[in-house]
Amino acid sequence: NAGVTQTPKFRVLKTGQSMTLLCAQDMNHEYMYWYRQDPGMGLRLIHYSVGEGTTAKGEVPDGYNVSRLKKQNFLLGLESAAPSQTSVYFCASKRGSPTGELFFGEGSRLTVL
């Protein structure tokens, strides 16, 4: 009964370092999303995927890359981390319908020094 699992949950990076956040879901959902949450700004969509092998840009995609090689996994990469990318990152998934409920992971807190 895992749902959506994000790893790692916490990470501290230095400016310029790279890292990958992994999101895994076991609900066979078609759609997967990466959001970032910053105080007072709600959740902003970074990238999303509507199926295996597909990705699309969201509201704030700059500085991030994603891949969806397997249906159950959605990876978010930071090639050269910047302090502005300090945030809490949430992965979410849902069935392939506009009315479908989004299921969220517990978040990954990233600090870039």
Partner 1 sequence: AQSVTQPDIHITVSEGASLELRCNYSYGATPYLFWYVQSPGQGLQLLLKYFSGDTLVQGIKGFEAEFKRSQSSFNLRKPSVHWSDAAEYFCAVNEAAGNKLTFGGGTRVLVKP
Residues at the contact surface with partner 1, assessed by CB under 8 A: 4, 31, 33, 35, 40-45, 48, 50, 58-59, 90, 92, 98-99, 101-102, 104-107
Q: Which two tokens stand for residue 107?
A: 């978040």
Question: What are the angstrom distances between the C-alpha of 63 and each of 58, 77, 99?
Answer: 12, 9, 30
**Residue number with CB closer to partner 1 (30 or 65):** 30
Shortest separation between residue 103's beta carbon and partner 1, angstroms: 8
CB 87 within 8 A of CB 40: no
Shortest separation between residue 81's beta carbon and partner 1, angstroms: 23
Shortest separation between residue 66's beta carbon and partner 1, angstroms: 14
**Residue number with CB closer to partner 1 (56 or 82):** 56
At 83, give phi and psi (nearest 5°). Answer: -55, -30
Question: Between β-strands 10-13 and 108-112, what pairing exists: parallel, antiparallel or unpaired?
Answer: parallel
**Residue number with CB closer to partner 1 (44 or 65):** 44
Cis peptide preceding 8, ω within 30 of 0: yes
Shortest separation between residue 44's beta carbon and partner 1, angstroms: 8
